[in-house]
Structure 1
Amino acid sequence: MNIQITIFGQLTDITGSNSISIPAVSNTDELFMELKKQFPALEKAKFVVAVDKKIIHGTAAITANSSIALLPPFSGG
């Protein structure tokens, strides 16, 4: 089973798409390893991961039904 990831902003320049699919992973640490293996340029990119619409700081579990997004830095007013 694969996991769908939605990509936003300039990160689409690295991935070549606004949506990618990766092999199933169980947590965000494994997610980062898989993403950096497939897209080495993400190693130097600044972004955060959202799982089920919550920005993750640290490690979080990922299930087959998780909604995952990669978000570049943003600011607003």
Structure 2
Amino acid sequence: MEIEIISFGQIAELINNQKIDTTGITDTETFKQHIENQFPALKSMKYKLALNKNIVQENTEIPNQATIAIMPPFSGG
């Protein structure tokens, strides 16, 4: 399965936008564990995931060729 990762803010300094081939990653919780193992600094950061432009609130199945954005906390105004 291929997943495109897009990162923003200080997370972009850790993770460059990239495509990864991830066998065995089928949901957002597994993805989060995988990415935190690859980039341990993420474990101490707050961030949200967006799957195909939709912010993920709970564990969600990841389709093939998905795009996942990793975003730091933000506020609007």
Instruction: Give TM-score, length-normalised by structure 1.
Output: 0.86
| AA matched with 1:59 | N
CA RMSD of aligned residues (A): 1.3
Which aligned runs of 4 or more in structure 1 are off by greater than 6 angstroms?
A: none
Q: Which of 18, 21, 26 is the aligned partner of 1:20?
A: 18
Structure 1 alignment gaps of length 5 or more: none
Separation (CA, whole Å) in 2 of partners of 1:69 and 1:4: 8
Task: Report the CA distance between 1:63 and its aligned residue.
Answer: 1.1
> Quick check: 2:4–2:65 contact (8 Å CA) kept in 1?
no
Residue 62 of structure 1 aligns with which residue? 62
Separation (CA, whole Å) in 1 of partners of 2:67 and 2:2: 12
Count of matched residue positions in the alignment of Structure 1 and Structure 2: 75
Residue 42 of structure 2 aligns with which residue? 42
Deviations 1:37-74 (A, max 9, x none): 10000001111000011111110000113221011111
Structure 2 alignment gaps of length 5 or more: none
Task: Report the CA distance between 1:2 and its aligned residue.
Answer: 3.1
Counterpart check, 1:32 vs 2:32? yes
Deviations 1:10-60 (A, max 9, x none): 101222x2x033324100011011101100000011110000111111100
User: SS of 1:74's equivalent?
Assistant: coil
